[in-house]
Amino acid sequence: MDKVTYKAFVEAALSGKDLSGEDMQTTGKRLLAMLDKRNSGERKPTATDKANDALIEEIITAMSGQGKFTPKEARENITALAGMSPQKVLGVLNRGVKQGKIVAYQDDKKHMTYEVEGE
């Protein structure tokens, strides 16, 4: 039995070829298992995830009671964010939004402002 690559399997599936062979079935099951594992959400947090979570907590501590703030204001007021690029700060803020700890607002000009949840 020849091992079928994922690329060959997907190309065969897209072109409508027969996928009933044992090698195609095996490859399809391996691909599905890999996708299920990747999408399960059961992965361990990476070092970057842990560092970003610590930054989110610093943002919450520093910006609680401040009302709405922009990413620029967060960089200026929080020393841990001072040396970061604007893109990195936005990434950390958006992670906080996904976790439900920070609320995001968008104005008519598509400028984002943020607020600590519960204010």
Q: Per residue in 18-73, pLDDT tens? A: 888 888 899 999 999 988 887 777 778 889 989 999 999 999 999 988 899 999 99
Residues 103 and 52 in one domain: yes
**Same structural domain for residues 62 and 83?**
yes
How are beta strands 102-106 and 112-116 bridged, if at all?
antiparallel
Residue 12 and residue 53 in one domain: no
Q: Are residues 53 and 14 in the same domain?
A: no
For residue 1, is it within any domain? no
Structure tokens at 111: 């400028």
The residue segments making up the domain with residue 22 are 6-39
Residues 95, 53 share a domain: yes
What per-residue confidence (pLDDT) applies to 115?
92
84: its two tokens: 């970061």
Q: What's the domain count of the chain? A: 2
| Same domain (yes/no): 53, 22 | no
- State how far the Cα of 114 lies from the Cα of 1, in Å rounded to an integer: 57
Instruction: Assess contact for 45 and 53: CB atoms under 8 A.
Output: yes
In a domain, 58, yes or no: yes
